[in-house]
Chain A
Amino acid sequence: MRDQYLKIMLFSIIILALCGSCSHRSHSMLLQKTDIRPILNPNEGALKYQTTIDLFKNHFSGILVAKQIDSTHAHLLFISEIGMKIFDFEMTKDSIHLVSAFPGLESRPKAIELLKSDLGLIFLNGIYNKPASWIRDSTSSFATIWIDFRQRDGKRTNIYITNSETKRIQRIVQKKGIRKKIQVGYDQKEGLGPQSIVLRHKGLIHLTMMMRKLD
């Protein structure tokens, strides 16, 4: 009886998967800023977020200031509530590098690398003019149509889910193989920048970033 039930379940899952794939058509493209709206823009002011970072057993809180300085350079600066600079990353078109860090953090290259890649992911660093594929979900019952952009980044796949009307990023899922490695959620409303951003690692790396926009 139990085996029969399992067989029916498995059959149903296969049918559902096949039906699902019928309603999604994947298209190749070169990702542009008109597909996913950048979070940082040269003519806009800095975005400031009250931020907490939990990295393994360490808990940090402070203010993350993100600003596009010109068309090619942006800075991501993290300072403590009481004003001490903790780290400063410079983002260029396709890369992100450390400008300075508090001495205690500078001596932790793995932590720096992790922060660098996660902040790059959050602020959509290096995604434009890269090959991607998109899937339009026409079966959605919502008025908003979601589009998934997939990009190959080494062994990882980043899936960007945007609102098709506003072109604002809603969610990012980074996968390695079939496993979800990182998930980023954005609370997008009117005005500049997301109202809140939450990044969570899955698996062995215990890193969570929670950001709340300051007015």
Chain B
Amino acid sequence: MSNTFLSIERLTQIFPDGAGGTLTVFENASFGIEKGEFVCILGHSGCGKSTIMNILAGLAEPTSGVVKMDGFEVSGPSLDRGVVFQNYSLLPWLSALKNVTFGIKARHPDWSKDRVEAHAREFLAKVGLEGEVVHRKPSQLSGGMRQRVSIARAFANEPKLLLLDEPFGALDALTRGTIQEELLKIWRGTNQTVFMITHDIDEAILLSDRILLMTNGPHARVAESVDITIPRPRNRTEIVEHPNYYAIRNHLVHFLGERSKALAGKASGGETQSPATVRIDRTAPSATEEDAEGERRLRAVND
């Protein structure tokens, strides 16, 4: 695990619980992310997903444990780790274009004004924002457009790791669908490593190479890492026809519905908590027979 691009090693977060005691959100959590991978993390509210995200972004400090990127320990926020926040976090006094150039200027202080603007317009165009609309203030944009600007700002900086904190949580289902596809489109061209939090199972399957599943807190852990064995490029309508889609989906629903509770609340006892790799592939030659109970045919490989 030491040679992966991003490795999270024995990460522990303990908060005071307000009554003199402590609350262990998660302990000794360890997992890795490969370069160019799109990884989603799924789990119930309060399991510590956002805490992990904030630690990766450098906005919060873990109680113990380290995060290494490219072999170096990270501490504090950095332009190498771009963040798209759930509430967009655009600066409301700047136009859409100025919000993007704000990021690029921070990344490339030596670039000329024209180059910065051209780069910003290029990435805004990639998320479908062109023409007059880029001069509008965030308050004059719809929620979907604001999140597009926020995504453009993050991608325009070409960070080594892109962190998306429930980026589509506040959007309606139709807008969400469109922007998911735009996100896939912009991501495909960049080979960007992405780590994303979501509540939405279908969104996670559509977007990710791998889904990390978290048990409920306290003492939450990243219990499983589910490979999404559906080839790319994917789109929303075709992906549901793939034989693996519902098998994977059922597994995720089961996990979130029952096993996330069953596995919850156990202290690690000092053990490193690594996720078990789960690979569900109905197209593989060994899994030809049709079985009513999808769960039984899982090949769970613990490493």
Co-assembled chains A and B: no
Interface residues of A (CB under 8 A from B): none
Interface residues of B (CB under 8 A from A): none
